[in-house]
């Protein structure tokens, strides 16, 4: 499994379109126990990415991600901007200078994203955040890639894992973000960020070039 700038462009264009398409849905998920601005905030950030798409520096895949991270961080309000921006920044930094990369590079980049999210959001696994679907999905990426599965199967497996993990956040009590203020009332609903990861991966799996 190898990748290049074209693959990163596909991933980021798909993520951008899916976030814009799901603005209302993500907001509704967040409104159950949060402040309901998650969908709106993400969409405002990725609108900038869509508008400036042709002008983003494409020196290499990593630089492309770093520039997107900067645009998103500058535009998104609340906690989402720093967290999603940091995730993309850390991933981009890992891939910077590489015209091509392999599955191990992607795993390394995504693990760096996780560490960035933990540091910026002061979050850990099991605290009902996007980490609770993202980390299992990365574990699946690593395992399926190591088993020699083709990219389209790897991404589908990641999506399946992320969906199950996101649904499992219903059993968790929120420990971070606005939802944490509701205490035990946060149990019984999915985390919006975790479900967003599942939705994004499912769309990537649906559209992945065969």
pLDDT (tens digit, 9 = 90+) per residue, 69-128? 999 988 776 677 788 999 999 999 999 999 999 999 999 999 999 999 999 888 888 888
User: Three-state SS for 57?
Assistant: coil
Predicted local distance difference test score (pLDDT) of residue 205: 98
Tell me the sheet residues that pair with 101. Answer: 3
Structure confidence at residue 66 as a pLDDT band (50, 70, 90)? very high
Map out the domains of the chain as residue ranges: 2-207
Whether residue 137 contacts residue 125, with contact meaning beta carbons closer than 8 Å, is answered with no
Q: How far apart are CA 136 and CA 84, in angstroms?
A: 18
Q: Classify 2-207 by CATH class.
A: mainly alpha
pLDDT of residue 31: 84
pTM: 0.92
Q: Residues 6 or more apart from 158 whose CB is under 8 A from it?
A: 137, 138, 140, 141, 144, 201, 205
R_g (Cα) of the chain, nearest Å: 16
pLDDT of 76: 76
The yes-or-no verdict on residue 175 having pLDDT over 70 is no
Q: Note whether 185 and 33 are within 8 A (CB).
A: yes
Dihedral sign for Cα atoms in the order 119, 82, 41, 35: positive
What are the C-alpha distances in Å from 115 to residues 91, 98, 123, 134?
10, 21, 10, 12
Q: Is 148 left (phi over 0), alpha (psi -120 to 50) or beta?
A: left
Separation between Cα atoms, residue 74 and residue 64, nearest integer Å? 16
Res 160 pLDDT > 90: yes
């Amino acid at each position: 499994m190898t990748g290049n700038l074209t693959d990163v462009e596909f991933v980021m264009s798909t993520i951008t379109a899916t976030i814009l398409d799901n603005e209302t849905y993500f907001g509704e998920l967040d409104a159950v126990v949060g402040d309901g601005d998650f969908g709106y905030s993400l969409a405002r950030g990725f609108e900038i990415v869509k508008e400036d798409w042709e002008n983003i520096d494409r020196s290499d895949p990593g630089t492309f991600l770093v520039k997107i991270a900067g645009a998103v961080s500058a535009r998104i309000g609340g906690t989402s901007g720093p967290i999603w921006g940091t995730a993309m920044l850390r991933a981009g930094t890992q891939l910077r200078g590489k015209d091509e990369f392999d599955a191990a590079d992607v795993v390394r980049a995504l693990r760096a994203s996780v560490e960035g999210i933990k540091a910026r959001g002061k979050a850990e696994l099991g605290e009902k955040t996007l980490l609770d679907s993202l980390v299992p999905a990365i574990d699946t990426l690593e395992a399926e890639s190591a088993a020699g599965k083709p990219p389209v199967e790897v991404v589908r497996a990641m999506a399946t894992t992320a969906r199950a993990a996101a649904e499992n956040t219903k059993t968790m009590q929120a420990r971070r973000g606005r939802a944490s203020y509701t205490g035990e009332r946060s149990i019984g609903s999915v985390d919006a960020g975790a479900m967003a990861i599942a939705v994004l991966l499912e769309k990537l799996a649906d559209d992945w070039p065969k």
